[in-house]
């Protein structure tokens, strides 16, 4: 009996059915596939069934997105979400090089704007502010941005291409403060690590990052009028193999459930 020309998977499904139920198979002339689903792929209608999503996300989202991903998987059985965390500039490079992924979340709109030809329309899912991270109990007595100019302090910042590095220089420049960092790191978690390990006396990080290491670092608040407000846009990638599932996940990041997870971790409303 000739197979219906609906692609390799459908042909295989029909052949299997024909071997098991020959009479039923002969009576099915392409009017309905015995099993239209295929593990690990979306259905023809674009549903998110059995999708495995890969999301490129800014380093500062490492902890909260692990929690968010678990919550999303519980709410959407059959969908698995894996994350690849790095500095936003590294994520943009991965997207431009065609890394296989379904969505991207950066720590600034500037980086997202640079890859707009590769994404859907971005939506801001959260905001954040900077703090000064210092060793536990603040052994160097740092209390304000101006203290970072001291030649007696080992200060570490993120590199200028990194969103948190750009924000840091923005707030320092606005106060006309000259800070000479002992190193410039590729992402915010590297800045935090230097302070945690005692390799730096102080570093500028996001408030949410400092909150992940309360037993190793103290966070010195920067007044809002001197601070910068970081925005986190999320977008699907045009080359995603699971376009519907990716769009559903990005939309979910602005839901009440996801927003509670983000705000419980210290992020601000979008």
pLDDT per residue over 192-241, tens digit each?
999 999 999 999 999 999 999 999 999 999 999 999 999 999 999 999 99
Band of the pLDDT at 21, cuts 50, 70, 90? very low
Rounded (10°) CA dihedral 193, 222, 123, 235:
-20
Decide if 86 contacts 187 (C-beta within 8 A). Answer: yes
> Of 7-21, 78-92, 247-261, which gets the smallest average pLDDT?
7-21
Name the DSSP class of 31: S
CB 110: neighbour CB atoms within 10 A? 15
CB 138: neighbour CB atoms within 10 A? 16
Cα four-point dihedral sign 194, 196, 200, 205: positive
Domain layout of the chain by residue ranges: 52-127+231-264, 129-229
Is the CATH number of domain 129-229 3.60.70.12? no
Band of the pLDDT at 50, cuts 50, 70, 90? confident
Residues β-bridged to residue 230: 128
Direct distance between the N- and C-terminal alpha carbons of the chain, in angstroms, rounded to an integer: 58
CATH number of 52-127+231-264: 3.40.190.10
Cα four-point dihedral sign 159, 162, 163, 164: negative
pLDDT at 104: 98
pTM of the model: 0.81
| Cα–Cα dist 212/16, whole Å | 53
pLDDT at 33: 35
Band of the pLDDT at 111, cuts 50, 70, 90? very high
Average pLDDT value for the chain: 86
């Amino acid at each position: 009996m000739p197979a219906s020309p609906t692609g390799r998977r459908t042909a295989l499904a029909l052949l299997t059915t024909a071997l098991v139920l020959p009479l039923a198979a002969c009576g099915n002339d392409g009017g309905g596939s015995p099993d239209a689903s295929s593990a690990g792929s979306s259905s023809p209608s674009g549903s998110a069934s059995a999708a495995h999503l890969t999301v490129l996300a800014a380093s500062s989202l490492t902890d909260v997105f692990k929690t968010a991903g678990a919550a999303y998987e519980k709410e959407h059985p059959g969908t698995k979400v894996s994350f690849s965390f790095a500095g936003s500039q590294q994520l943009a490079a991965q997207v431009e090089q065609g890394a296989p992924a379904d969505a991207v979340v950066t720590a600034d709109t500037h980086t997202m704007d640079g890859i707009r030809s590769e994404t859907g329309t971005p939506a801001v899912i959260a905001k954040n502010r900077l703090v000064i991270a210092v060793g536990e109990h603040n052994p160097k007595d740092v209390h304000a941005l101006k203290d970072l100019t001291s030649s007696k302090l080992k200060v570490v910042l993120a590199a200028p291409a990194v969103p948190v590095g750009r924000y840091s220089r923005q707030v320092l420049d606005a106060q006309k403060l000259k800070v000479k960092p002992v190193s410039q790191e590729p992402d915010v978690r590297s800045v935090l690590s230097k302070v945690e390990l005692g390799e730096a006396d102080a570093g500028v990080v996001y408030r949410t990052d400092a909150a992940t290491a309360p037993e190793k670092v103290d966070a010195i608040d920067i007044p809002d009028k001197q601070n910068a407000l970081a925005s986190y846009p999320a977008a699907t990638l045009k080359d995603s193999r699971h376009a519907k599932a990716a769009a559903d996940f990005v939309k979910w990041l602005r839901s009440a459930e996801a927003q509670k997870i983000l705000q419980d971790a210290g992020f601000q409303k979008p």
